[in-house]
Amino acid sequence: MPIRRLPESLVNQIAAGEVVERPAAALKELVENSLDAGATRIEVELERGGKELLVISDNGCGIPKEEIPVALERHATSKITEQADLHRISTLGFRGEALPSIASISKFRLRSRTAEDEHAWEVRIEGGAMGEFEPISAPEGTRIEVASLFFNTPVRRKFLKTDATELSHCLDLLTKLALVRPNVGFFVRHNGQSVLEAPATNEASERVVALLGKKARGELFPLLWEGEAAGDEVRWEGLVGSPNLLGGTTRSIYLFVEGRPIRDRSLAHAVQNAYREVIVERKYPTVILNLRINPEAVDVNIHPTKTEVRFRAASALYGSLYKAISTVLEDAPWAPQRSMRPVEYDTETGEEIAARQHRIEETQGGYQYNRRSSSTFERYMSGGGPRPVPVSYEQAGGAALAQEWPQAGAEPEARPGFFTNLDIVGQFHNEFLLCQSEGALYLIDQHAAHERIAYERLRGAALGSGGKGAQMLLVPEPVELGASEAAALLEAKDDLERIGFELEDYGTGTVLVRAVPGPLAHRPVKALLEDAAAEMIEYGRSRAGDQAIEDLCARMACHGAIRGPTALSEDQARSLLRQMDEIDFAAHCPHGRPVVKEFTRAEIEHLFKRTL
């Protein structure tokens, strides 16, 4: 084949392949353009997750009529003019590719009006060909309509996911952009219904509540840190969450460079590291932090979607972020109860034990100091003290444990089985149950066993091998989540209903819960749903049908089971063994970790050289 220059429309389509892989990517480019144009109000309308329609309207500076054709040309931009500018980019866009790329793969309509214009001008583009300009009455600003995205690239279209998945990607992106710009109003509708409403505000924390839900109210504290990193002046600004505001994945760590959302493993690690003392493993803090830095110290032009950036002094930045967060955490600003807390003394030295040394040792979930003394839950279990008020996930988990493992007397006649017949020797560090039979010693991981039981019951209910089904709530509970979390849950609504949840879309990021699976009935619904949604967004749904149900049961069981050391009474330990006999027990938890280890008498004797 002779070498030929590709037609412009094909070049644009190829470029679109790089930048625009799904509706959320087109949306990102267009909303970034609105922000670059100085908009203070951005309205987004989506249909079918953005696959059918994306409309972005802003009140920005508009594009003069004579510049519209240029804006639609490849590599046309008003944002940089020379090579040197590439090293000091202060706008979100600069490549001049978005408009022509998106226009080449959709039915595209652009309407714009500047302050000088008497009316707006509108032009349509289909398959890369521009139509006539038409005058139209419209307010100052720009409105871009992208219909039938990928209509002429069927392969790309085929790879699009369900409406709900595409919607949750769109909302995820909008959430990020909106988090660092409280003074810009964001209003999003999907299929005619409002899904996100974030009016402009001067209160950064108000914005976070609008986006991430009411759980964030009162749990965010301002951070402002100015210093130096490898010779560059840096400034970290934003909000850091209390150890009560946790996520199940790193998604709750929102990092930005000059307002640009970025993904950076090293910086995310610095955040986790700074929180290490106050948060237990496998949970992540919520932070929204924007880095202000000399633009020459960052290269944002390493990837077409611009979500990854390269820093000139990455390790110095790591240090600066770590320091910035540690400084705020040192004051533990979320702990008004500090003054009310009894002072504790080291029994040996008599020294006062500083608040920060109290790591959360006992449990997973919220934060608590003074956990060295017995917990409310333990006191409750031992018969003294009041019934615990579930203030945090693990305490509520503890209360659930008490209900699920009934005290003696309430116990139904145990079906004799392998575990039921074991003698209980004791508990090792309140984490492992030590049991024996005539011929062996058994170590049982309480958490893994509990998780396995919950998993089998959920799975049984869903896949029809018996078990407890849904338990209706007396009063349906509205659970406020972020917009993308709600969308992710609603996408998995059918599966969630099979395992016993009953959910309803309540609009604007809220899900109404009418029923919960019996085996999870005593767990805090909100925490369960939040964790499940975060994982769904993070890991997606890779499988279908019964396998998807099994994945979901595993996730739910994991979040529903008690973590961390828990003292068990003998009755509770018996109850656990009985339940282990009741399920179709395999010696592994759903994540494949072992539940029980057996050490035969012969092995133990061999260890001590009693036998040869």
Amino acid, res. 506: Y
Task: Read off φ and ψ for residue 479, nearest 5 degrees.
Answer: -110, 120
When the beta carbons of 63 and 568 are compared against ligand ADP, the nearer one is: 63
Q: How would you classify residue 220: left for phi > 0, otherwise alpha for psi between -120 and 50, otherwise beta?
A: beta
Q: Kindly report the number of other CB atoms within 10 A of residue 416's CB atom.
A: 9
3-state secondary structure 240-280: EECCCCEECCHHHEEEEECCEEECCHHHHHHHHHHCCCCCC
What's the min distance (Å) between Cβ of 30 and Mg ion?
8
34 binds, among ligand ADP, Mg ion, none (CB under 5 to 8 A by kind): ligand ADP
Query: Which single residue is written with the structure tokens 């009560």?
Result: 244
When the beta carbons of 108 and 405 are compared against ligand ADP, the nearer one is: 108
Residue number of the CB closest to ligand ADP reads 93
Give residues with Cβ within 8 angstroms of 201, minimum separation 6.
182, 183, 207, 210
When the beta carbons of 77 and 427 are compared against Mg ion, the nearer one is: 77
Report the C-alpha dihedral over residues 489, 490, 495, 500, rounded to 10 degrees. Answer: 80
Instruction: Kindly list the distances between the CA atom of residue 371 and the CA atoms of 358, 365, 374, 445, 565, in Å, as whole numbers in the listed order.
Output: 7, 13, 7, 22, 12
What's the min distance (Å) between Cβ of 93 and ligand ADP?
2
153 binds, among ligand ADP, Mg ion, none (CB under 5 to 8 A by kind): none
When the beta carbons of 44 and 562 are compared against ligand ADP, the nearer one is: 44
97 binds, among ligand ADP, Mg ion, none (CB under 5 to 8 A by kind): ligand ADP
What's the min distance (Å) between Cβ of 304 and Mg ion?
11
What's the min distance (Å) between Cβ of 33 and Mg ion?
4
What's the min distance (Å) between Cβ of 27 and Mg ion?
12
When the beta carbons of 26 and 208 are compared against Mg ion, the nearer one is: 26
On whether the CB atoms of residues 266 and 318 are closer than 8 A, the answer is yes
When the beta carbons of 14 and 586 are compared against ligand ADP, the nearer one is: 14
When the beta carbons of 44 and 71 are compared against ligand ADP, the nearer one is: 71
589 binds, among ligand ADP, Mg ion, none (CB under 5 to 8 A by kind): none
When the beta carbons of 62 and 398 are compared against ligand ADP, the nearer one is: 62
What's the min distance (Å) between Cβ of 62 and ligand ADP?
6
Q: By CB under 5 A, name the binding residues for Mg ion.
A: 33, 93, 98
List the one residue out of 231, 167, 190, 179 whose CA is nearest residue 537. Answer: 167
What's the min distance (Å) between Cβ of 73 and ligand ADP?
9
244 binds, among Mg ion, ligand ADP, none (CB under 5 to 8 A by kind): none
203 by Cβ neighbours in 10 Å (0-12 / 13-18 / 19+) ranks as: exposed
**CA dist., res. 463 & res. 67, Å (int):** 60
On whether the CB atoms of residues 392 and 526 are closer than 8 A, the answer is no
What's the min distance (Å) between Cβ of 76 and ligand ADP?
6
Q: By CB under 6 A, name the binding residues for ligand ADP.
A: 29, 33-34, 37, 58, 60-63, 71, 76-79, 93-99, 142
**CA dist., res. 5 & res. 9, Å (int):** 12
Amino acid, res. 317: L
What's the min distance (Å) between Cβ of 452 and ligand ADP?
52
What's the min distance (Å) between Cβ of 144 and ligand ADP?
7
142 binds, among ligand ADP, Mg ion, none (CB under 5 to 8 A by kind): ligand ADP
**CA dist., res. 3 & res. 538, Å (int):** 44
When the beta carbons of 32 and 531 are compared against Mg ion, the nearer one is: 32
Q: How many CA atoms lie within 13 A of 570 on its CB side?
A: 6
78 binds, among Mg ion, ligand ADP, none (CB under 5 to 8 A by kind): ligand ADP
> Any idea what DSSP says for residue 343?
P
566 binds, among Mg ion, ligand ADP, none (CB under 5 to 8 A by kind): none
248 binds, among Mg ion, ligand ADP, none (CB under 5 to 8 A by kind): none
Q: Kindly report the number of other CB atoms within 10 A of residue 302's CB atom.
A: 10
63 binds, among ligand ADP, Mg ion, none (CB under 5 to 8 A by kind): ligand ADP
61 binds, among ligand ADP, Mg ion, none (CB under 5 to 8 A by kind): ligand ADP
Task: Read off φ and ψ for residue 272, nearest 5 degrees.
Answer: -60, -40
What's the min distance (Å) between Cβ of 26 and ligand ADP?
11
When the beta carbons of 72 and 422 are compared against Mg ion, the nearer one is: 72
92-101 b/e (C-beta count within 10 Å ≥ 16 → b) = bbbbbbbbbb
When the beta carbons of 93 and 365 are compared against ligand ADP, the nearer one is: 93
On whether the CB atoms of residues 298 and 264 are closer than 8 A, the answer is no
